[in-house]
Structure 1
Amino acid sequence: MSPNATDSLKTNLGEAGSHLKQAAGYAGEAIKGAAGAAGDEVRLGKAQVKSELADSALAGLAAVEQAGAASREQVDALMDKGRDLLESASDLIRERPLASFGVAFAAGWIIAKLARGGDK
């Protein structure tokens, strides 16, 4: 008895189903492998991020410590400039006491005028 069209159809559909089942199994294995590899990459990336954040925190702390030292240097420089300015003002006053008194008097008068002008 020769196979008829219905039997051939059943055979071909059975074979197609078998191939689909194998393809689904291979796809599942591939997805599991990809998920495992992705998990490994995520763990590696997480470790690298933690490392970089720790390095960043250490660098930030070092910068804060240096900022304190830098601010002390700036304050010292400003204090030195202030002392120099006071010394030069003292020298000028000693050299020209009348001119210094006149400048101080004029500055006081101008400040008083400006202060009274704002009260009106």
Structure 2
Amino acid sequence: MSPTNSENLKDQLNEAGSHLKAAANAAGTAVKGVASSVSDEAVQAKARIKAELSETAQYGKSAAHAGGAVAKEQVDALMDKSRDLIDSAAELIREKPLASFGVAFAAGFLIAKLTRSSHD
């Protein structure tokens, strides 16, 4: 079974966090190393920092794409629910047109009364 978009998002964010932590560790090592061993350590640390930040960016992009997929799934689910609600309302109106008209009329009347009284 393939992982869901939510699981992909979590995995990508975890990977991005791991690489960001590694970049921070590399930066800390670089700061310590620069004081004792001059430029070689600094050059190597800079390369490690760049590599880890590059990985962070890649996993961050992947997480953003996974987040988009999760959002699309949620929107699709909401759209399906709203279609079902509209279909059931239409079915109720077809089954009981007079009752539906009466309820709509009463609701309109109440809304009109409330809006008029709030302006007076």
Q: Which has the higher contact order (CA 8 A, sep 6+)?
A: 2
**1:19-70 deviation line (CA, Å, top 9, x unaligned):** xxxxxxxxxxxxxxx9672433222221221111101111121122223322
CA distance in 2, matches of 1:36, 1:105: 84
What TM-score does the superposition give when structure 2 sets the normalisation length? Answer: 0.62
Structure 2 residue ranges without an equivalent (≥5): 1-33
Q: Which amino acid counterpart does residue 66 of structure 2 have in structure 1?
A: Q
Taking the TM superposition and a 5 Å limit, the aligned residue runs for 1:64-103 are: 64-103=64-103
Residue 58 (1) aligns with residue 72 (2) = no
Give runs of ≥4 in structure 1 deviating > 3 Å: none
Taking only the aligned residue pairs, the percentage that are identical comes to 55
Between the aligned partners of 1:87 and 1:109, the Cα distance in structure 2 is 25
**Cα RMSD over matched residues?**
2.1
Structure 1: where are the runs of 5+ without partners?
1-33
Deviation by residue 1:45-101 (Cα, 9 ceiling, x = unmatched)? 212211111011111211222233222222211111111001110121122222211
Relative to structure 1, is the Cα distance of residues 59 and 84 closer, same or farther in structure 2, using a 3 angstrom cutoff?
same
Provide the rounded CA distance (Å) in 1 between the counterparts of 2:118 and 2:104: 22
Aligned residue pair count = 87
SS in 2 for 1:118: helix
